[in-house]
Amino acid sequence: MFDYTTATLVITLLISLVLLGFHVAVALAVTSAVGLYLATGSLRITQAVLASTSAEALRSFTFAVIPLFMLMGEFMGRSGVITDIYIGINKGLRRVPARLAIATVLGNTVFSFVTGVSIASAAAFSRIAYPEMRAHGYDRGFALGAIAGSSCLGMLIPPSVLMIVWGILTEQSIGRLFLAGVAPGVLLATLFVIYIMAAALLRPALVGEGKSEGSQSQPAPDDPLSAVEDTATKPLPPMQLLGAAVGLFGIVASILGGIWMGLFTPTEGAGAGAALALGLAILRGMRWHGFVAAIFSVGRIAAPIMILLLAAALYSRTLAMTGVTTAIRETIVESGLSPYMVLAAIVLVWFLLGMIIDSISIMLLTVPIVEPVAMAFGFDQLSFAIVGIIAIEAGLLTPPFGLLVYTVKAAINDPDVGIQHIFLASVPYWLVMLIVVLLLIGFPQIANFFPNLLM
């Protein structure tokens, strides 16, 4: 029988620890231990459940997907193919209004295929695209808004880390989740481009139009950005661009295609992708010190995520044993609220949490509870996952602690740009993401098109 006192204590303890500033992994682990003890009344049983759950989680090959895909992205980044493709996109859009901002969106879309981490995209394109847009007279806020906003594509374009985490938490097919993100990701990128072009046509000064050559914004000699190479205008031999495109898209297509066709599991695909990306990086000049740096870089990012996932596994087991998830689902179902009111409340909670904690932590805290509730109300499982990922990721653009905005600010190291300017310039991209959320709620077939077609 469900014990409301235990459930209340478990939820209250978790929220209190997070608000007090404890790391989310610590809060999840402590809450799990306390919850299991309250549910079983035995310290020995609690220790046994914690040990068995941890062992099962650590033995799962699914957990290896995240570091392996990150390693693939790190090798790709060090090979230089992303920079080459960005230069090619930029040169191919020479006659298009706001071509640099559009190239940034398209470049982020490509970059997302090899990282799946929005913060990595934001850091990379802050160094690649911002100096070039500065040099062409772009408004600082407009340029940084384009970088921060388009970096969110990393959570939809496979292989997305958030999709992998969602699949682990809900025991869904990671391959189907990857496919479900393709159409919404393309839609989001298209709407970003439409906004940029509309803004450039309505206010040409935002993209440096109508300014004399001498009035364009050039980095000062002592500007920290002046040492950054003028990436988008350096000469690029056609064969170098062709080699970068073939290498990047060949690896991505073979790995994701193999996963979708059932030739290998996501874990096997991630391992093969990392090996192929290593080969590409070596062919393009990466040496031993670059290889070691890539390993350490992935380790610093992936290790905390692995610890979070382990704590989340304990948390999910606690919710199941204490009956919290079942009780919340039954309470909401019997409340008389309409399905769309419930969904609106869930999305609002995600938006609010996004203002104070990171995306993976939000997912670990909420998905084990809200996903069964959404299924009880008859929402499509795949489209709900994509709605959740977009809504959670939108928090990275919201003040006061939008991590993407702070990443961009740190990467450019420009004292003339305040953090509030980047937040303000990111608002249109946040609104576009909200539009895509509404479209997915109204038309779940957008997310289901490719999974139903190919799997």
The DSSP annotation for 367-408 comes to: HHHHHHHHHHTT--HHHHHHHHHHHHHHGGGSSS--HHHHHH
Tokens, residue 376: 């009880």
Residue 4 confidence (pLDDT): 66
Pairwise CA distance, residues 454 & 357, whole Å: 36
DSSP state of 71: H
Domain assignments of the chain as residue spans, ordered by start = 4-212+221-454
Q: Nearest Cα to 168, choosing from 304, 68, 62?
A: 62
Give CA angle at 196 (212, 419), nearest 5°. Answer: 85
Euclidean distance between CA atoms 373 and 395, whole angstroms: 22
- Decide: helix, strand or coil at residue 90: helix
User: For position 401, what pLDDT does the model report?
Assistant: 66
Q: What is the pLDDT along the chain (455 residues), one digit of tens a residue?
A: 455 677 778 888 888 887 788 887 888 889 888 888 887 888 888 888 888 877 777 776 666 777 888 788 788 878 888 778 777 877 787 778 888 889 889 888 877 766 666 777 787 778 778 887 888 888 988 999 999 898 888 788 877 888 888 988 888 888 899 889 989 999 999 999 999 999 999 998 888 765 544 444 444 333 433 333 445 455 667 888 788 888 888 888 888 788 778 788 878 888 888 899 899 999 988 899 989 998 988 888 778 777 877 887 788 778 777 777 777 777 787 878 888 999 998 988 888 777 767 777 788 888 888 998 899 888 999 999 999 999 888 877 877 667 788 878 877 867 888 888 888 999 999 999 999 999 999 999 999 998 888 76
Cα(13)–Cα(196) distance, integer angstroms: 45
Euclidean distance between CA atoms 350 and 393, whole angstroms? 9
Longest dimension (CA), the chain: 77
pLDDT given for residue 116 in this prediction: 64
pTM of the predicted structure, to 2 decimals:
0.76
pLDDT at residue 223, as a whole number: 40
Q: Which residues contact 322 (CB under 8 A, 6 or more apart)?
A: 3, 6, 7, 10, 35, 36, 38, 39
End-to-end CA distance of the chain: 40
pLDDT value for 215: 41
Are the C-beta atoms of 10 and 38 separated by less than 8 Å?
Answer: yes
**Residues with Cβ < 8 Å from 159, sequence gap 6 or more?**
65, 69, 72, 113, 116, 178, 256, 266, 270, 273
Residues near 337 by Cβ (< 8 Å), separated by ≥ 6? 345
**What does the chain come to in residues?**
455
Q: Which two tokens stand for residue 176?
A: 């189907």
SS3 221: coil
pLDDT, residue 446, reads 94
